[in-house]
Chain A
């Protein structure tokens, strides 16, 4: 029939119809999100469902002398109250963390951070549960509180973790103090020391990265429903990695893995906050087993900000050795990492400091050495990758600030110093001093394009004039220009170096083409807003020539989706995106056989062309993918199985290394410390671009979070461990009014090892954005001798920094 078409469609029209890679296809999931028709965990209502709520610790460090739940139990509507004593016989009072530590599900003997979970109240509605939570009475004996990580390993520091106080060996080697978790070292210490001994110029500065929180709009939540007859558990939850949750739940509960059904429905943002396993999930499961009813647990905002995974709290001391001409010759970094009361970082298991060894950044350091000390404090556990790959935003911030400090010392322009040290295009694939093989890049082209886009020399001239006017007393405004050049490391990861609890960090895709040519595809990842339903369909559309509109993407149901490690660390495109392409290619190989059979030629004599197989040299003789799909079910070639589907589990050969050049122009009102972003230009190179509109959206969102972190976010504790301002009144979540206008640009350097050359982009803007903002604020004061002003750059801190420079009269 196709052969009979009177007017053949142009190749361009056929291509456009697919809405494949490179198309600014609108996000299909937004049809439901923008109409309030999403289906989130808290939308779930099951018959007889009960509600759980926590009674939490008032103190940051205290011994629990007694817990009296009698008044709570007596409240009408309360069904059960669980404490550590109830979990202990089930061996569920403690749970393993992803970092090889254990965490108390409910505190038994002592509490280690304020708002720690002590009792789980289960009631017929959430109002009664909240009332009953107030009625639990706990008698405490207060203990000395450890808040400052720099005091954690002092000889007289209070010992926090009595459960492991005597263990001299931790999950990552020797512990030399009861509050010490690990020391992680990488690089060549001796060669680095030598580089510093021979250095003409050296800089050293403490660069802290404050404690912040991913703060997704939807908080963490779960519904557990245990079917006693079948012995099956169904768990709905806010899970970035549902398959891993199922495996962990099986190990913890001894319920066989195939009898656990984990479902992650729509998720309202994750940003790393929804990777780990939390006491609320475990308690909802236990409560459902105990009561025989479905049990829902929903965190409120204060619980989210003060108990489920924080990010950063990294205290980095960076040293750079260089020649007088500004060529870097060595990098040495020491990090003090505050992990809170339990080591619940969500890193690949062998990487206690994540991929912090990306800290040499985009520069050609001949030698480097890094050491990281992790310590316990009386704060909430976490240390997750908040919209970044593991500890990568910390590393990028560290090196980008350190380069600016070096530029100031050498009297060099920060952009010029970078141009002198960026890895050159011909050096790729580039082996870094700390062991990574960067896949591809053209750094000089990217930075030069960004400098041109903002007319950099003109900005510097304007800044100089403003500084002169400031010093003459004619203005109280200063101007800062922040340059940041970052290299991300994403797509965890190759099984040779990445696993979670022993499970290699591959990912997967399963694609099934139905007789009419409609496609259902399922992946082991899980979108939390990244628009996987749109972009995976575009990969498939381009790979096998079926319109994206005819392709449905499903994720998050462990019964139906192939096993995968989930979505975080910008890994979905590098891993599941690659698996998608590989599965498509298996399908295509079979389609080729079917097409050849239908066209009565040898399969070597047909070739793929957009949406069809064509007999070579005879464009009028073809079979479309739609024809082939029907034939696969109707009349498959002899000797070939019917059907048209494929599964791929993709173990990436390497990480991918997206990069970018960001420039921020900031106006600073010295009298109030208020900083206003005049201009922000972000150039990203994420390799092959699947959907430019979605990339721009990702960049806008990531830059907004970077802006929030650099300019205001902080989870603060007072000296006795009370968490301050754990609400959106104080925790800075910018609105559209505060958010700057973003300008975006790009270059395209495909990854040579990825099937479609894509690298991932979701987290780049956070990684590159934070140093751009911070460098801009710092840059405004550099001409007055300032070396480093710590984040967050909220007005009072900027005002104080100006005061310290003698600028406040």
Chain B
């Protein structure tokens, strides 16, 4: 439980950090809150020679509105997400999800950027990002680009982010009026990854579902956007039958591993249960 040796850097600007990544190549890793990377380093599953701490880069912080979009700096901690009152009022699902991540000590360190960019299928925010169709703002040696969350995750710890790029912010469009989102997570205890979790967003018009997006956490090597499950509910009345249908369709795209949280078949079923419960809660919130 002691990491290998490494050189430590603390740049102050995004450009400086990008330059360090370019210099050290694959031997370098970025660290923000460190709550995924440092345990892996202690287990020697990750052994970077160069550790670049982005914690001193002021440009990566802050929660802002850009038109109707939310623009959240990558270095925003889970605790800051929870404490931001404007965000809690405008996009409460982020606060709700952040509260389900680990414990207060971890949330004081862990960042949104780290949670989404590490590519760990156990992280909670990626599914929320898929559900809300977020975009990740990225800076590399060639400048800035914006990558849609849907399409960012390719495998466990494999993402569209190039080795020399940094996620600087997350952009999320506001939900349409009459809609609400919810995150349901089944876990064994505080601090655990999800046995299964579901992020949903749902809109109602005239008593019918007019918009629905569903995503799943920790039920495959990547977070999953259950597009068909969401689409199937368009035009239907909210209720147990519709939510059960979405749950079944969501179960079909899962590919979980069997682990101490349960065998794959159980975890798949729990994906369905989480979808049903999240939809029921979102529908209730959308009505009110």
Q: Which residues of A contact B103 (CB under 8 A)?
A: 735
- A154 at interface, CB cutoff 8 A: no
Q: How many residues of B contact A (CB 8 A)?
A: 24
Closest to A794 in B: B188
Give the docked Cα–Cα distance between A785 and B55 (Å): 58
Of the listed stretches A11-19, A525-533, A724-732, name the one at the interface; the rest are far from the partner chain. A724-732
- Choose from B5, B186, B190, B263 the contact partner of A738 (Cβ within 8 Å): B190
Query: In the bound complex, do residue B186 and residue A730 qualify as a contact, i.e. CB atoms below 8 Å apart?
Result: no
- Choose from A127, A131, A671, A796 the contact partner of B262 (Cβ within 8 Å): A796
Query: In the bound complex, do residue B189 and residue A730 qualify as a contact, i.e. CB atoms below 8 Å apart?
Result: no
Q: How many residues of A contact B (CB 8 A)?
A: 29
Closest to A736 in B: B190
- B116 at interface, CB cutoff 8 A: no
Query: In the bound complex, do residue B261 and residue A796 qualify as a contact, i.e. CB atoms below 8 Å apart?
Result: yes
Give the docked Cα–Cα distance between A399 and B263 (Å): 31
Give the docked Cα–Cα distance between A673 and B191 (Å): 19
- A143 at interface, CB cutoff 8 A: no
Query: In the bound complex, do residue A672 and residue B189 qualify as a contact, i.e. CB atoms below 8 Å apart?
Result: no
Closest to A800 in B: B266
Contact with B along A664-705 (1 / 0, CB 8 A): 000000011110000000000000000000000000000000
Query: In the bound complex, do residue A712 and residue B188 qualify as a contact, i.e. CB atoms below 8 Å apart?
Result: yes
Q: Which residues of A contact B2 (CB under 8 A)?
A: 126-127, 130, 300
Q: How far is the CB of B265 from chain A (nearest CB, A)?
A: 9
Query: In the bound complex, do residue B260 and residue A716 qualify as a contact, i.e. CB atoms below 8 Å apart?
Result: yes
Query: In the bound complex, do residue A795 and residue B188 qualify as a contact, i.e. CB atoms below 8 Å apart?
Result: yes
Give the docked Cα–Cα distance between A712 and B195 (Å): 14
- Choose from B191, B193, B262, B263 the contact partner of A735 (Cβ within 8 Å): B191
Contact with A along B1-32 (1 / 0, CB 8 A): 11011000000000000000000000000000
Closest to A714 in B: B260
Closest to B191 in A: A735
Give the docked Cα–Cα distance between A734 and B187 (Å): 12
Q: Which residues of A contact B269 (CB under 8 A)?
A: 799, 808
Q: How far is the CB of A797 from chain B (nearest CB, A)?
A: 8
Q: Which residues of A contact B266 (CB under 8 A)?
A: 673, 796, 799-800
Q: How far is the CB of B217 from chain A (nearest CB, A)?
A: 15
Contact with B along A734-745 (1 / 0, CB 8 A): 110110000000
Closest to B270 in A: A672
- A141 at interface, CB cutoff 8 A: no
Max chain B C-beta neighbours (<10 A), residue from A131, A672, A794:
A672
Q: Which residues of A contact B270 (CB under 8 A)?
A: 672
Give the docked Cα–Cα distance between A185 and B234 (Å): 69
Residues of chain B from 160 to 207 with CB closer than 8 A to chain A in the complex? 186, 188-193, 195
Q: Which residues of A contact B5 (CB under 8 A)?
A: 127, 131
Q: Which residues of B contact A25 (CB under 8 A)?
A: none
Q: Which residues of B contact A738 (CB under 8 A)?
A: 189-190
Q: How far is the CB of A643 from chain B (nearest CB, A)?
A: 51
Query: In the bound complex, do residue B4 and residue A796 qualify as a contact, i.e. CB atoms below 8 Å apart?
Result: no
Q: How far is the CB of B115 from chain A (nearest CB, A)?
A: 17
Query: In the bound complex, do residue B190 and residue A737 qualify as a contact, i.e. CB atoms below 8 Å apart?
Result: yes
Contact with B along A638-672 (1 / 0, CB 8 A): 00000000000000000000000000000000011
Max chain B C-beta neighbours (<10 A), residue from A126, A301, A735:
A735
Give the docked Cα–Cα distance between A808 and B251 (Å): 15
Q: Which residues of A contact B192 (CB under 8 A)?
A: 729
Given A712-B188, A735-B190, A795:B273 Cβ within 8 A:
no
- Sample of 19 A–B contacts (CB below 8 Å): A127-B5, A134-B44, A300-B1, A301-B1, A673-B266, A730-B259, A732-B188, A732-B189, A795-B188, A795-B195, A795-B262, A796-B195, A796-B261, A796-B263, A796-B267, A799-B266, A799-B269, A800-B266, A808-B269
Known: A131-B4, A712-B188, A730-B259. 6 other contacts (CB 8 A): A671-B273, A725-B259, A729-B192, A730-B260, A795-B262, A799-B262
B interface residues with partner A (beta carbon < 8 Å):
1-2, 4-5, 44, 103, 186, 188-193, 195, 259-263, 266-267, 269-270, 273
